Amino acid sequence: MHEAYLSLGANLGEREAALRGAINELGKLKHTEVAAVSGFYETGPVGFASEHWFLNCAVRLHTSLPPPQLLEQCQRIEREFGRESDAGRGGQPRDRTLDIDIILYGQLTLLTPALVIPHPEATRRLFVLVPLAELEGGIVIGEHTVEEWIGLVRAEHPEQQIRRYPGG
């Protein structure tokens, strides 16, 4: 079994229901167990303008699914919750009914056209880092711990807003 960390977010529709439903679906995957779930956080959009705030959390999985199969299952869950295809959007961020990103998969470093681990944007996004730090203090990504990355992002990007969601 491998330890994988996922970031979940939604800013359209019933955000909390989407996150809770996705966590439930992750727990149903073969050879996979949801080991821990962070609290929920409301965050302003990063990288694009929207009036809709995101609800985010992090999940720690124990899984024997290889990363490409885990990605396929995450994408299937996203579609089940109304996620529209990003085809033709050039990877541009936008509003989402559900977004699931694989942030870490054990100590694996992976660079393929479909999947990059560690997630290349993780160390620049408080909505990934803060819930991840809640799950597991001291995780190292690149040359810093998650807590160090949080300090760096807060100093360099004070426009990123994050607050604990009272319902999660």
List the catalytic residue out of 83, 86, 95, 154: 83
Question: Catalytic residue among 96, 124, 125, 154, which?
Answer: 96
Has 99 been annotated as catalytic? yes
Residue found under tokens 């080991």: 35
Percentages of the chain per state (helix, strand, coil), in multiples of 5: 30, 25, 40
Q: Confirm whether 101 is a catalytic residue.
A: yes
Catalytic residue among 101, 154, 163, 164: 101
Q: Are the CB atoms for 4 and 98 separated by under 8 Å?
A: no
Burial-class residue 122 by CB neighbours within 10 Å (0-12, 13-18, 19+). buried
Token duo for residue 104: 């870490």
The token pair at 17 is 């229901």
83 noted as active-site residue:
yes
94 catalytically annotated: no
Tell me 108's DSSP state: -
Which residue is catalytic, options 15, 60, 99, 125? 99
Which sequence positions are flagged as catalytic?
A: 83, 96, 99, 101
